Chains A and B, each alone.
Chain A
Amino acid sequence: MADTPYNVDAEISSLCSTGLRPDILTGVVLRILTHHFSREKGISHPQLKGYLWSNNPKDTKINIVPLWRWDTRRAQDRPAVVVKRNALRPKQLALADGAALVHDFHPEKIPANQPATQQVAMVGSHTIFALSTIPYQAEILGSEISSRLIQYAQVFQSEFGFHRFRVAEIGALHKVEEASEYFSIPITVAYTYVDAWQVWSTSPYLKRLVFGTEL
């Protein structure tokens, strides 16, 4: 069967219940990268074709890990992609904390005791370090990752519920301070999303009033 432009049988994403939290955001970036390097068919640069990612650290030809799991002692000179979350900043929305921006916002349909949805915009970024002990390999690894992120920015934006998802910068070649034998191309992706919630009270306000007297 021919490939279709849309996946109509998609399962409900776990993001519906978890939302985009800092740890989930790192997971999203890792998911994009591990999926890309899981199949040779998806890798576009001919010299990277053999570098397939595997969940087994012993078998994988390329390490794709969050920053806190990157261990240079076990890297064995393999190329690596290290993902670091940068600062995430809440940004207050205008017009009653963005209540008017909720798609299903119909004030006349909200029962008297139901609170309105509150929202806050979150602005943040992740930096993806394309690492190799060979400078040229770091360069082509960075190119492979950055071009894929740019090409699929709109898809990631809609699939993962971002308001906006963009590649902010593809850095120059650097030496790595923590592991001097490695070279790095830092790629920064910037994103923003809206976190929405409702606060329900389980008991009426002022359910109990305590009066006292002092003599």
Chain B
Amino acid sequence: MPWVVRGQDGSFDQVAQPEAVQPGDINDGVLSEATDIVDTHGLPKKMLPKVSLFKFEPPKSLVNQALNG
């Protein structure tokens, strides 16, 4: 779990990452392997849904749920 510290200069995001977890550890390894499959084979890419940055609009109910929940 990262340690979150509020900076004296008003900065928000000083994070001390525990040294024990390094790239290549089990989580990163598993994710990288999955990524390689997506990168090397065309089929998964074609199966991904598309999003339009300009047309994207979240449902009104989603916004209300996040604020009222």
Seen from chain A, the residues whose Cβ lies within 8 Å of a Cβ on chain B are 1, 3-7, 10, 32, 35-36, 39, 41-44, 46-47, 67, 70, 82, 84, 86-87, 89, 123-125, 127, 129, 134-136, 139-140, 148, 151-152, 155-156, 159, 164, 166-169, 171-178, 183-184, 186, 188, 190-192
Contact = CB atoms under 8 A, between A and B. Distances in A.
Contacts of B15: 41-44
B10 A175 contact: no
Contacts, number: 141
B47 to A, nearest CB: 10
B31 interface: yes
Contact of B50 (A47, A124, A136, A174): A174
Which are the 9 A-B pairs with shortest beta-carbon distances? A136-B35, A168-B66, A174-B51, A42-B13, A190-B66, A177-B52, A7-B10, A190-B63, A166-B66
Contacts of B10: 7, 10
A169 B51 CA distance: 15
B52 A175 contact: no
A136 B12 contact: no
Interface in B11-47: 11-15, 17, 22-23, 28, 31-32, 34-35, 38-39, 45
Nearest to B46: A175
Nearest to A167: B66
A186 B57 contact: no
Nearest to B45: A175
Nearest to A86: B57
Contact of A5 (B6, B31, B51): B6
Contacts of B39: 134-136
B34 to A, nearest CB: 8
A1 B34 CA distance: 44
A87 B56 CA distance: 11
Given A84-B56, A124-B63, A129-B51, 16 more contacts: A1-B8, A3-B5, A3-B6, A6-B6, A42-B11, A46-B23, A87-B60, A134-B35, A139-B31, A152-B13, A169-B58, A169-B62, A171-B51, A173-B48, A175-B49, A175-B50
B48 A168 contact: no
Contacts of B53: 67, 70, 82, 84, 129, 176-178, 184
Nearest to A168: B66
